[in-house]
Amino acid sequence: MKDLVFNLIENEKVRQSEGLELIPSENYVSADVLSAMGSILTNKYSEGYPSFEGVPGWEEKKITNEILPNYRYYGGQPNVDRIERLAIDRACRLFHADHANVQPHSGAQANNAVYFAWLEPGDTVLGMSLPAGGHLTHGAPVTLSAHIYNFVAYGVTKDGDIDYDDLEKKALENEPKIILVGYSAFMKIPDFERVVEIRDRLVKKTGKEVMLMADMAHVAGLIAGGVHPNPLDFGFNVMTTTTHKTLRGPRGGLILSKGNVASPLKRPEKTLDNIPILIDRAVFPGTQGGPLEHIVAAKAVSFGEALKPEFKDYAKRIVENAKALADELKKLGFVLQGDGTENHLILVNVKESFGFDGKIYEKALDMIGLTLNANSLPIDKGGAFRPSGVRLGTPAITTRGLGIKEMKELASWMKTVADICVKAKTEENLTKFDKELTTLREEVKTLATSFPVPGI
Ligand SMILES: Cc1ncc(COP(=O)(O)O)c(C=O)c1O
């Protein structure tokens, strides 16, 4: 008999097929990405890195068992080396980087490795505060990195944009070794040029090198698709990302950088030019053990997909859908942080719109098959457990093929559920509205099942 786990996987397939995923950090991977993730590459240990120095003419399609030069601590690498090299080359092409480390197990691991590569304990990082939209790994006190380094936070303005004046003031006052631009709940396009200018003024003041780091975990797919500026094109030194959000690859992390690419075996001097080597050493052996080569293979497949012209169209449609959904929501009385969106993500102030908090709304929408998450707003009396907002986005539904027409329908369901929450007042009372919620659930299911989930 099959393990119970497989029954639960079957259940999850039904949940994903019959509902619509609006969490902006989620997506549906292709059947090819799934197949690489579920492959026998999981059997292989490959601590270290591939190195194709002195192998001119190495090319993607060449399949041989010839052992290529590497810095690995285990034998048997002819295929794994080539797979990881493919992932690295494709990532560099996608993001205009000199170097890519494709081994981080997650976005958090990627960020921690960059900190470890460049900082000494007690050094300062200037990043966006968590309530303003930054990520936990940008200095939340509950994290390991916040115990090691000194994080200073900048915020956002009333209209939801980065407060660049605050950023500049804090940079000049605190003299950080890293200025970090990145976020999990932010709907504007950052002004990378302005951040570079601020960095230059800081360097002029101190005469010391300052790393510019961008955590583009949410928008990497938009960058790859050419609908969002690329921080590496503006003089940023490092860009980290997850591979599973808009980029539509397997769950994992990725670090891209500019600088010299050379052997990670020799300990390099801590200079910005040496960042790629410092990062390789910081990922392995600095913060991780053996890479997950089945995931690296799936990353390579997804980067290959993102290099195709169809991906540009996908990225464009994500943003079009997000803007259309934001417009429809506004027409129906929803108050949006930043008054709309410039990317894939919408932050709704449900408290100001309808008087209830994000938690009851998240639960009620879940009951009809629409999944999103309650989220704090920049100034939020409700705190992390009863936040006043919800965060939603369009990467996953755009993968399934939903377009502008369906955004209208989505907004209308969201308004009907908001009206139910106004009447219910508490999560417990939602069951009193079972009939209405069940009818809506059937409507969502009918639409969702007409847009199949890839790989199911
Ligand atoms: C901006 C940002 N950085 C890092 C991460 C961490 O990624 P992971 O969950 O893969 O560790 C996230 C995840 O949501 C994120 O939004």
Same domain, 229 and 302: yes
CA of 246 relative to ligand 1 center, distance in Å: 12
pLDDT digits over 122-141, tens only? 999 999 999 899 999 999 99
Calculate mean pLDDT across residues 11-19.
97
CA distance 348 to 408: 16
Instruction: Identify whether 14 is part of a domain.
Output: no
Same domain, 348 and 225: no
The pLDDT, as a whole number, for residue 452 is 97
Is residue 55 pLDDT above 90, yes or no? no
Among 260, 290, 306, give the residue marking a domain's end: 306
Q: Residue 149 catalytic?
A: no
Confidence of residue 51 (pLDDT cuts 50, 70, 90): confident
- Rounded to whole angstroms, what are the CA distances from 339 to 182, 186, 407? 20, 12, 17
Which CATH number belongs to the domain containing residue 160 in this structure?
3.40.640.10
Is residue 382 pLDDT above 90, yes or no? no
Alpha helices in 158-292 (DSSP H): 164-174, 192-206, 220-224, 275-281
The pLDDT, as a whole number, for residue 264 is 85
- Give the pairing of strands 124-128 and 178-182: parallel
Same domain, 280 and 152: yes
Is residue 54 pLDDT above 90, yes or no? no
Confidence of residue 389 (pLDDT cuts 50, 70, 90): very high
b/e code 33-72 from CB counts within 10 Å (16+ = b): bbebbeeebeebbbebbbbeeeeeeeeeeeeeeeebebeb
CA of 137 relative to ligand 1 center, distance in Å: 8
pLDDT digits over 360-375, tens only? 999 999 999 999 999 9
How is residue 24 written in tokens?
């902006």
The pLDDT, as a whole number, for residue 456 is 86
Calculate mean pLDDT across residues 46-64.
76
Confidence of residue 59 (pLDDT cuts 50, 70, 90): low
CA of 373 relative to ligand 1 center, distance in Å: 15
Which CATH number belongs to the domain containing residue 362 in this structure?
3.90.1150.10
Among 278, 306, 334, give the residue marking a domain's end: 306
Same domain, 187 and 81: yes
Q: Residue 2 catalytic?
A: no
Same domain, 281 and 322: no
Is residue 455 pLDDT above 90, yes or no? no
Nearest to 95 by CA among 246, 211, 288, 265: 246
Q: Residue 200 catalytic?
A: no
The pLDDT, as a whole number, for residue 61 is 63
The pLDDT, as a whole number, for residue 104 is 98
Instruction: Identify whether 169 is part of a domain.
Output: yes
Confidence of residue 56 (pLDDT cuts 50, 70, 90): low
Confidence of residue 57 (pLDDT cuts 50, 70, 90): low
Residues with Cβ within 6 A of ligand 1?
Answer: 25, 106-108, 111, 135, 137, 182-184, 215, 217-218, 242, 253
Confidence of residue 67 (pLDDT cuts 50, 70, 90): confident
CA of 195 relative to ligand 1 center, distance in Å: 22
3-state helix, strand, coil in the chain (%, to 5): 50, 15, 40
The residue from 242, 246, 394, 398 that is catalytic is: 242
Average pLDDT, rounded, for the chain = 95
Is residue 388 pLDDT above 70, yes or no? yes
CA of 108 relative to ligand 1 center, distance in Å: 6
Percent of the chain with pLDDT over 90: 89
> Which H helix or E strand runs over 79?
helix 78-95
Q: Residue 45 catalytic?
A: yes
Calculate mean pLDDT across residues 267-271.
94
pLDDT digits over 80-115, tens only? 999 999 999 999 999 999 999 999 999 999 999 999
pTM confidence score: 0.97
Same domain, 302 and 314: no
The residue from 170, 245, 359, 391 that is catalytic is: 245
The pLDDT, as a whole number, for residue 304 is 98
Same domain, 320 and 290: no
pLDDT digits over 318-339, tens only? 999 999 999 999 999 999 999 9
Range of the domain at 74: 40-306
The pLDDT, as a whole number, for residue 64 is 77
Nearest to 125 by CA among 101, 104, 151: 151
Q: How many domains does the chain have?
A: 2
Calculate mean pLDDT across residues 12-17.
97
Is residue 58 pLDDT above 70, yes or no? no
Is residue 206 pLDDT above 80, yes or no? yes
138 contacts 215 by C-beta, under 8 angstroms: yes
Instruction: Identify whether 15 is part of a domain.
Output: no
* Residue of 112, 135, 183, 254 to mutate, ligand 1, most atoms within 8 A of C-beta: 135
Calculate mean pLDDT across residues 236-259.
98
